[in-house]
Amino acid sequence: MREAGLEGSVEVIPRGCFGLCRLAPNLYVEPDDVWYSKFTLRDVSVIVRQHLREGRPVKRLIHYPDQDKKGGGVMTQVAAAREIEVGEAAPDFTLKDEGGNPVTLSSFHGKKNVVLLFYPFDWSPVCTTENCAVNDDLPKFDSKETTVLGISCDSHFCHRAWKEKMGFKHTLLSDQLREVSKKYGLYLPDLNCSKRATVVVNKEGKVTYKKVQELKTARSTSEILSALR
């Protein structure tokens, strides 16, 4: 799991809760909120990766292997990367914009709300569609004293070419080292990119809204605007 880029805290539940019967449930998955039986660590890896592909990150995962040959049981603890949640302080960061200039999140504190638009890749169909929609609604964001920052793992050179081609007015930030998407728990290791997610940060630097989309589903700008206070 660590090799897949997953990290976070682990909640330990004693194996004795289910005894040592081979038919006892040995895998708990949240957000499924279901116990499964007869799963191996290889199965666990597949389940976590499938959830990531579907845009439904595993928030908590507990795996108990079958009994060993001596009749004992050893619990394997696995946890997925933890997503940022509403009410938390937004982790600060500095990234290059499309012009190669540094942009720091905390520089907006006390001045403007910030909408962080995490998306997989420049030039892709869904990312282009939703960024065009955001660009069209920029006056509405401005009226709510809000800055929009698009964030993907593309280079700032790629951002610049895409922005010039599409005529975008909002800023695009390059998270080429994947540090920010990982900080926010929004990194997809299998695709080596960020999830399609929206995080609203208010003037005090607190997260007031968060939504993770299915990768092939464009976000709604009207929904984001409604979330701005």
User: Could you read off the pLDDT of 10-31 as tens digits, one per residue?
Assistant: 333 444 443 433 445 566 677 6
Q: Which residues pair with 211 in a beta bridge?
A: 198
Give the span between the Cα atoms of 202 and 89, in whole angstroms.
10
Give the span between the Cα atoms of 133 and 221, in whole angstroms.
7
Give the span between the Cα atoms of 171 and 151, in whole angstroms.
9
pLDDT band at residue 199, thresholds of 50, 70 and 90? very high
On whether the CB atoms of residues 95 and 60 are closer than 8 A, the answer is: no
**Does the domain at residues 94-227 carry the CATH identifier 3.40.30.10?**
yes
Instruction: With a cut of 80, say whether residue 116 has pLDDT above it.
Output: yes
- What amino acid positions are annotated as catalytic residues? 127
Domain ranges of the chain: 2-78, 94-227
On whether the CB atoms of residues 121 and 154 are closer than 8 A, the answer is: yes
Strand 187-188 to 94-97 pairing: unpaired
pTM of the shown model = 0.67
Instruction: With a cut of 50, say whether residue 74 has pLDDT above it.
Output: no
Query: In the prediction, which pLDDT does 1 show?
Result: 45
Instruction: With a cut of 70, say whether residue 136 has pLDDT above it.
Output: yes
* Between 57 and 2, residue with greater pLDDT: 57
Tell me which H or E stretch contains 143.
helix 138-143
